[in-house]
Structure 1
Amino acid sequence: MIATLAMYDWPQVRAEHDRFWQLIRTAMADEGIPAPQDLTRDEKLWELWESPDLLLGQTCGMPYRTRLHGQVELVGTPDYALPDAPPGHYYSVFVTRADEPGEAVDFIDRTLAFNGQDSQSGWAAPQNQMAKAGLRFTHTRHTGAHRDSARAVAAGKADIAAIDAVSWRLIDAWHPELSGTLRVIGHTDPTPGLPLITARGRDTAPLARAVASAITALAAEDRAALGLTGLAAIPASAYLAVPTPPPPSQDVPVN
């Protein structure tokens, strides 16, 4: 069996995630569910998400709606208590260099740094936000991670990035030397957050109970470090309703 919470499992909060997993594991034992001793790390995410041995994992909304839907079961969505977002929802903050004037729309013809073309927060959210005004980012730079997108903007290799608000909170907490060189110039509309999933055919109800129980049992300092406040039940239809923009290779300017 496999358990992974890789999406926000930064080195600085690895110990907190380990303690969180042990609470989940204990709660699963109370539900009669055997679970692995430790979280799986440093493996390819798609292999973990699509494994029939996946007991619990966390994915992103865009991979879920474009490829994983129908192949996995939704367990629930962790709530990180972001301001101006419903429970279990999140958004991306647009960032640029601190000395750059303007709002996000003013950067439409400049370079967008994005972590991956299958990222809801880094790719789909900014493109969907601009599409509301009939616009699209067409100058892009792939970075591989939100932290690297922030670094690309700070270094002048890109001009704007859309950073998952939970990741931005981690950047601000653990890399103030980076966040201090940037400023937030807006955010995207909230969408369903990063869901917990399990392999197809597994009963999700006891897994959801175990996770919710573990969140409640978190020590105050671990809760603060992880930003977790609860587990939301968001239907698959809410994830599937989010538009999927074309990938960079198919991106064309809007007249």
Structure 2
Amino acid sequence: MTALASLPMYDWPETQYFNDKLWDALYHSLNDHGVEAPKSLAREIDPMTIWRNPHLVLGQTCGLPFVNLLAQETALIGTPAYDIECGAGSYYSVLIVQEDADIHKISDLEGKTFGYNNSMSQSGYAAFHYHINAAGFSKELLSAEQHTGSHRSSIKAVASAQVDVAAIDAVSWELANRHEPATATIRILDCTAPTPGLPFITANNHKTMLKPIRSAIIEAMASLDESVRDELLLMGFAQTTEQDYEVIKSRFKSMGTSTKKTS
């Protein structure tokens, strides 16, 4: 099998052209550094399948599956930095509700329905539950949880009152403000504490190539046209470590410890 690459996390229809421009720069830079890379991104394969593939050269995953499932099978390269007013390599989630909803604090979520993209999502699921736990509430504050399948679907579900609240990572929220009309009827209820963002990974058998891979990424990002960086919100690249991501694992383990249920 040939080398594989995947950047699925922010690959919206409106950004695919720019992700292809990013990959083109990465492809040439990786090959210049002696790293064999595919000419195009793999978009037709399930992300988890790609992330665990031994031929993965570069992929972007979520912090929660990385710490819980992938850390032993992949090597962390680092983390892109995005223009979201957060520390380089970090991100946070916004908790969103309908503009006219009578929800103004966490306790107002009592009896409400929470919409989430995936139960293995740090930004869309774990961050929300950690946040309400930190406020003194457990998931029993809610009446129900509803799987939506994606951040964009969660935004639409809030706008259409299918769910009352959702957690959207700050990069997706900014993309939605640019490309998703449903945001017009939504407001931010609260923001979660920052955690390390969506990491770039490579298969374990490429671990000896981490230094040239990192160099190739940094050089490729520096070479991008300003329009591409703006459309993808890219600002740079942070050399994060596995230790940086331990906060996600510890917060995930702490979820559900609060005993307070209602206001």
- Shorter-chain TM-score category? over 0.9
Aligned in 2, Cα 1:253/1:117: closer, same or farther, shift over 3 Å? farther
Q: What is the aligned-residue identity percentage?
A: 35
Amino acid at match of 2:215: R
What TM-score does the superposition give when structure 2 sets the normalisation length? 0.91
Report whether the alignment pairs 1:171 with 2:164: no
Partner in structure 1 of residue 9 of structure 2: 7
Partner in structure 2 of residue 182 of structure 1: 186
Per-residue CA shift, 1:20-64, capped at 9, x if unaligned?
111111111211112111110021111100000000000000000
Contact 2:133 2:258 in 1 (8 A): no
Partner in structure 2 of residue 201 of structure 1: 205
Secondary structure in structure 2 of the residue aligned to 1:46: helix
Give the superposition deviation at 1:200: 0.5
Partner in structure 2 of residue 191 of structure 1: 195
Partner in structure 1 of residue 159 of structure 2: 154
Give the superposition deviation at 1:252: 9.9
Structure 2: where are the runs of 5+ without partners? none
* Structure 2 Cα separation of the partners of residues 103 and 234 of structure 1: 35
Aligned in 2, Cα 1:157/1:251: closer, same or farther, shift over 3 Å? farther
* Structure 2 Cα separation of the partners of residues 252 and 116 of structure 1: 22
Structure 1: where are the runs of 5+ without partners? none
Structure 1 outlier segments of 4+, above 4 Å: 250-255
Tell me how many residue pairs correspond in the alignment: 251
* Structure 2 Cα separation of the partners of residues 108 and 211 of structure 1: 45
Give the superposition deviation at 1:80: 0.4
* Structure 1 Cα separation of the partners of residues 138 and 70 of structure 2: 26
Partner in structure 2 of residue 231 of structure 1: 237
Mapping of residues 83-98 of structure 1, within 5 Å: 83=85, 85-98=86-99
* Structure 2 Cα separation of the partners of residues 169 and 118 of structure 1: 22
Secondary structure in structure 2 of the residue aligned to 1:156: coil
Give the superposition deviation at 1:137: 3.0
Partner in structure 1 of residue 150 of structure 2: 145
